[in-house]
Copies of this chain bind each other. A is one copy, B any other.
Amino acid sequence: MRRPTIVDIARVAGVSKGAVSYALNGKPGVSERTRQRILDIARDLGWAPSGPARALSPGGRVGAVGLVVDRPAHALGVEPFFMQLVSGIEAELTVAGVDLVLHVTEDQEAELAAYRRWAAERRVDGVILVDLRVDDPRVGEVEELPLPAVVLGGPEGAGGLPCLHSDEAAAMREVVRYLAALGHRGIARIAGPEGFRHTRDRTRAFRAAAEEAGVARTRTVHADYTGEAATRATRRLLALAERPTALVYDNDLMAVAGLGVAREMGVDVPSQLSIVAWDDSVLCGLVRPSLTAIVRDTVSSGREAARMLLGRVAGDGVVSRQAPPGELHPRASTGPLAP
């Protein structure tokens, strides 16, 4: 049984295929009676529009958008962020009947190649850029391509692309003030890779917030979001003569790793060390002590980013927006210092 086409519908209805096209797309050009008859026949035949055929027509859309994730596979596995983001994006795309094409790359060059290929072969109608870097080559490249895009991050460094940015500084202030109020005067931050824009934003915000809150000793060390790197970094920090009394991690996985190191080194959490995770997932609630975390609504960000991209693809004027800032959810891993 061949897929039915509009020609089959036209034959049954006794009209031309042009008329069928008008009827099915709700465009003027056919009478209401005829339209209804054609719709009924289409339903009876189980007709569905051919994606490739639609895309081929002048001005046609492919009905898919792309997302490239450029992080090593093993790191990705346990990063709740991406799957949450994907669910959010998906939720929004599904109602529009648009598919999500996902690509996992090992380096940035491969990521750029993916965008170029998608544009050249017309595989997607647009892309969402995540993990904005300092001097990110993707922005310029994608702007050149006939490929609508929105950036999750920014607004600095997003070039002319509309972006969904979040106020990292506000959340950071909340964290630092909270820790300062608990009596902490030595706070270290185990950050993500230095190359990421949001890492740099947070680092700046961290310093500013610490100064404002009167926290004398701060320090930022960089890791790569993996547990191993966080383990090494935490060991070094806890071995310092004047060791920090509070640690802020740039993702929850690293915070879990830090918790393990503290345990291993006999440093009690939270009486001797407070730990804060940036980004919350079920993980934070499962480990003991449970982790205080900055909670962002990643699913909603995904939805919003998808919505913006669909707008761009449709040709609407899309403006950058701000996502609600993360909120601090105190749990068992933070507290006042034991005397």
In Å, the complex CA distance between A160 and B262 comes to: 53
A29 located at the interface, meaning its Cβ lies under 8 Å from any Cβ of chain B in the complex: no
Given known contacts A3-B120, A64-B101, A260-B288, A283 and B52 CB-to-CB distance under 8 angstroms? no
In Å, the complex CA distance between A254 and B52 comes to: 43
Contact flags A72-91 to B (C-beta < 8 A → 1, else 0): 01111111111110111011
CB atoms of B86 and A51 under 8 A apart: no
CB atoms of B77 and A120 under 8 A apart: no
In Å, the complex CA distance between A287 and B260 comes to: 6
In Å, the complex CA distance between A232 and B160 comes to: 50
A240 located at the interface, meaning its Cβ lies under 8 Å from any Cβ of chain B in the complex: no
CB atoms of B286 and A227 under 8 A apart: yes
CB atoms of B77 and A84 under 8 A apart: yes
Contact flags A110-150 to B (C-beta < 8 A → 1, else 0): 00000001001111000000000000000000000010000
CB atoms of A49 and B121 under 8 A apart: yes
In Å, the complex CA distance between A79 and B257 comes to: 17
- Residues in B with CB closer than 8 Å to A256 are 283, 286-287
- Residues in B with CB closer than 8 Å to A209 are none
Segment 34-88 of A: residues with Cβ below 8 Å from B: 46, 48-53, 55-56, 60, 62-64, 73-84, 86-88
A299 located at the interface, meaning its Cβ lies under 8 Å from any Cβ of chain B in the complex: yes
Number of copies of this protein chain within its complex: 2
In Å, the complex CA distance between A288 and B260 comes to: 6
- Residues in B with CB closer than 8 Å to A283 are 78, 227, 253, 256, 283
Given known contacts A78-B80, A100-B102, A282-B227, A56 and B52 CB-to-CB distance under 8 angstroms? yes
A104 located at the interface, meaning its Cβ lies under 8 Å from any Cβ of chain B in the complex: yes
CB atoms of A260 and B286 under 8 A apart: yes
Which of B76, B88, B99 is A123 in contact with, Cβ under 8 Å? Answer: B99
Segment 314-331 of A: residues with Cβ below 8 Å from B: none
- Residues in B with CB closer than 8 Å to A56 are 50, 52-53, 56
A334 located at the interface, meaning its Cβ lies under 8 Å from any Cβ of chain B in the complex: no
Contact flags A88-108 to B (C-beta < 8 A → 1, else 0): 101100100101111110000
Q: Which residues of A contact B (CB under 8 A)?
A: 3, 46, 48-53, 55-56, 60, 62-64, 73-84, 86-88, 90-91, 94, 97, 99-104, 117, 120-123, 146, 226-228, 231, 253, 256-257, 259-260, 263-264, 281-283, 285-288, 290, 299
Seed contacts A51-B121, A94-B103; 14 additional CB < 8 Å A-B pairs: A3-B120, A48-B117, A50-B122, A51-B55, A52-B62, A64-B123, A77-B84, A78-B282, A87-B104, A90-B102, A101-B102, A102-B102, A226-B282, A283-B283
A-B contact pairs, 13 of them (CB 8 A): A51-B55, A52-B56, A64-B101, A73-B84, A73-B88, A73-B299, A75-B282, A77-B282, A78-B78, A90-B104, A94-B103, A99-B101, A227-B282
Which 3 A-B pairs rank lowest in CB-CB distance, beginning with the nearest? A77-B80, A48-B120, A73-B87
